[in-house]
Chain A
Amino acid sequence: EADIYQTPRYLVIGTGKKITLECSQTMGHDKMYWYQQDPGMELHLIHYSYGVNSTEKGDLSSESTVSRIRTEHFPLTLESARPSHTSQYLCASSEGIVPYEQYFGPGTRLTVT
């Protein structure tokens, strides 16, 4: 059973607001990931981290930023939310042994009005 948590599960917020999506895992995984997914569509990697103080942008350009100050915590921040940011955001972490399976959190469904 994977121990990776995301809060909030659902968020409806107005344009221009600053938001932070929380992601925490208790498995001690070094690698963590953020994906963006529109309904019924594929997942796109927007950020990943190798470990503490290490973050990289993913394949899909995103206006969000991330930080990794602690191994277990990988929050994603939008400084000024826009309707185009409406999507589901999935956090994942990866173990350091084959097959390097990624464990996913339950996701945050964000709606920006």
Chain B
Amino acid sequence: AQKITQTQPGMFVQEKEAVTLDCTYDTSDQSYGLFWYKQPSSGEMIFLIYQGSYDEQNATEGRYSLNFQKARKSANLVISASQLGDSAMYFCAMRELGKAAGNKLTFGGGTRVLVKP
């Protein structure tokens, strides 16, 4: 069974600084996908970034980058130049592959980020 672990329940970060959110995963699959989602207090889930297990380069999307270390089974999210609007819960997730799996996602417990002005 797949498992996602986010060890940081909460973090403070100063506005304009960078922050790294940890995510480790456990899977026996060779091919998988890793996602990061943001959940503001309003409750919706916002897709941020994706990394495929065979992607050689770390994914980047604007201020978001994913530090993918396959051998260590980690997929940390880096948010650069933090903004007040980045205050939210952040979830790491892994996609199961295969028709039977239905492209299901397994989520970690989340990290709450609070950006201080």
Q: Do A and B bind each other?
A: yes
B33 touches which of A41, A42, A99, A107 (Cβ 8 Å):
A99
Contact B110 A41 (CB under 8 A): yes
Which residues of chain A are within 8 angstroms of B106 by Cβ–Cβ distance?
A: 45, 59
A92-108 Cβ-contact flags toward B at 8 Å (1 or 0): 10100011111111110
Which of chain B's residues has its CB closest to A45's CB?
A: B104
- Answer yes or no: A65 CB below 8 A from chain B CBs: no
The reply to whether B45 and A100 contact each other, CB–CB distance below 8 Å, is: no
Name A's B-contacting residues (CB within 8 A): 31, 33, 40-45, 48, 50, 56, 58-59, 88, 90, 92, 94, 98-107, 109
Contact call B112/A40, Cβ cutoff below 8 A: yes
Per-position 1/0 for B65-93, Cβ under 8 A of A: 00000000000000000000000010100
- Chain B interface, DSSP helix/strand/loop, else mixed: strand
Closest chain-B Cβ to A75's Cβ sits at a distance in Å of: 18
Tell me if B45 and A104 are in contact (CB < 8 A): yes
CA distance A45 to B107 in the complex (A): 9
Residue B12 is within 8 A (CB to CB) of chain A in the complex: no
Closest 6 pairs (CB-CB, A-B): A104-B45, A99-B50, A107-B43, A100-B103, A43-B107, A42-B109
